[in-house]
Amino acid sequence: MTNLQGMDEATAEFAGLPYVTELRSAEALSQRVGSAVVPTRIRVKPGRSAIVSWQREGESRLGGLQDWGWSAVVTSADKLANIRRRADRAGEPVVVHEYSEPRSAGATGSVLLSGSVPADSKLGKEIARAMRTLSGADTLEVVGYNPGRRILFKHTGQTSDEPEFIRIATRSQQHLVGTAAQWARWGLPTLPVEPIGSRGTAVASPWWGTGDLETHPDLAVAEEAGVIIAELHRHTPAEGVPGSSTSPIDQADAAADVLSWLLPEVGGTTDDIVRRLHHRIGNEGGTGVGAGAGLGARAIHGDLSPDQVLVGHSECRIIDLDRAGVGHVGMDLGRWVAACRRRTDVGAESLETGFLNGYRGPGAAEVDVEAWAAWAMLVTALEPWRACRSDWQQATVQAIGAAQQALTASESRVS
């Protein structure tokens, strides 16, 4: 077993569980699984459980769904029994790698285990149900997997050359169906979302375009995306906007708390950023109304970034409406700008300036973009850690520094 002593000690201390550093290490995880795999995303409930998705690489690749799986640490005997029972029903093995002794009398101890996607205790049954509706299950290509929550496929049916995008989750996806329909009624370019089966946990959309704006940066398309989002932001809850958004300040507080656990040396900095954000974008209600001259709640995308904009033939479609709902328009602008500034290539400036130029047309809301960019940089600073990047500490510290710079720029404009 790889010597992990001293490796990512912050993660081990934060999780309060054994084995978690292994889940984030490609080398250690590959040794446990028995073939070359790369961890793709981790989710931790401190002291209770942790789970990571992984993908096979190199000669270990088998093709399709078989290339993906999960590994987890659980402390509940009931949860372990439930995982095993559901995997047995699916005819899928679950491998228990190691047990650790309980830390105190009456405790259960921790178990490290791994399984395939069909052995996912929460998602496996939903996948199986959806497969019975889809033709040509062998033509499924996994494009994303979040264990116990959702899986994304590119599906090419046996009777059609037109591929489609399939999303299967543990919860109802009817909000996506309704939101996409409403965007279409408003004349906003997105893709239709249709339910698969009767349970509402699986949906399909056309596979559209030649890529996204993240991988195909284009100034003109970025400007068009800004125009579209400005039009979205003109709509209010009175028009029946589905969904809701949590307070941006609450999100910043939560991110700062976790960051102070994972990187104690930045705790004072993140606390200062949150304090300054309270001043710059605070005074909001539950829908996130803040700096922006009393804009009130508006329809927002909720997770806006260049990779949510598909491009093709000089047109675009805005997708991934999972977090669409009601909130402050600065949440969309801040997320977009933060995503652009994480880039280090020449596309960064064109994507940011193009989008903002398109957004700032006649009648557009006046928003403190720098303050909201700082907010977005803080709440997304955990992404390198969640994505199991080996350089997560450096990337996270850089994000926090960028948030400070954006806040300083915001404050200097009103001083």
- Whole-angstrom distance, CA of residue 69 vs CA of residue 77: 22
Q: What is the pLDDT of residue 314?
A: 82
Domains of the chain from N-terminus onward: 9-117 (3.30.200), 126-206 (3.30.200), 211-412 (3.90.1200.10)
Sheet with 315-318: list strands edge to edge. 211-212, 309-312, 315-318
The count of other CB atoms within 10 Å of the CB of residue 160 is 11
- Whole-angstrom distance, CA of residue 139 vs CA of residue 4: 39
Going by C-alpha positions, the residue among 230, 210, 193 that lies closest to residue 309 is 210
State yes or no: pLDDT of 144 exceeds 90.
yes
DSSP, collapsed to helix, strand or coil, labels residue 228 as helix
State yes or no: pLDDT of 5 exceeds 50.
no
Q: What is the pLDDT of residue 103?
A: 59
DSSP, collapsed to helix, strand or coil, labels residue 213 as coil
245 pLDDT band (50/70/90 cuts)? low
The residue that leads in pLDDT, 369 or 136, is: 369
Convert the pLDDT of each residue in 80-104 to its tens digit: 999 999 999 989 999 999 998 765 5
Least confident of 109-113, 240-244, 353-357, 360-364: 240-244
Q: What is the pLDDT of residue 131?
A: 87
Output the average pLDDT for the chain.
89
State yes or no: pLDDT of 287 exceeds 80.
no
140 pLDDT band (50/70/90 cuts)? confident
User: What's the average model confidence in pLDDT over 6-34?
Assistant: 89
> Amino acid identity of 406?
A
Least confident of 160-169, 218-227, 297-306: 160-169
Q: Render 81-139 in DSSP notation, one character per residue.
A: HHHHHHHHHHT--EEEEEEE--SSTT---EEEEEEEGGG-TTTHHHHHHHHHHSS-GGG
Cα dihedral 45, 334, 408, 288, rounded to 10, equals -70
Among positive and negative, which fits the CA dihedral 305, 308, 310, 315? negative
- Whole-angstrom distance, CA of residue 191 vs CA of residue 171: 21
Q: What's the predicted TM-score (pTM) here?
A: 0.91
Least confident of 93-102, 222-231, 322-331: 93-102
* Cβ-contact 145, 169 below 8 angstroms: no
241 pLDDT band (50/70/90 cuts)? confident
The residue that leads in pLDDT, 7 or 269, is: 269
Convert the pLDDT of each residue in 177-226 to its tens digit: 999 999 999 999 999 999 998 889 999 999 999 999 999 999 999 999 99
DSSP, collapsed to helix, strand or coil, labels residue 214 as coil
State yes or no: pLDDT of 166 exceeds 80.
yes
Q: What is the pLDDT of residue 243?
A: 61
State yes or no: pLDDT of 4 exceeds 50.
no
* Cβ-contact 351, 311 below 8 angstroms: no
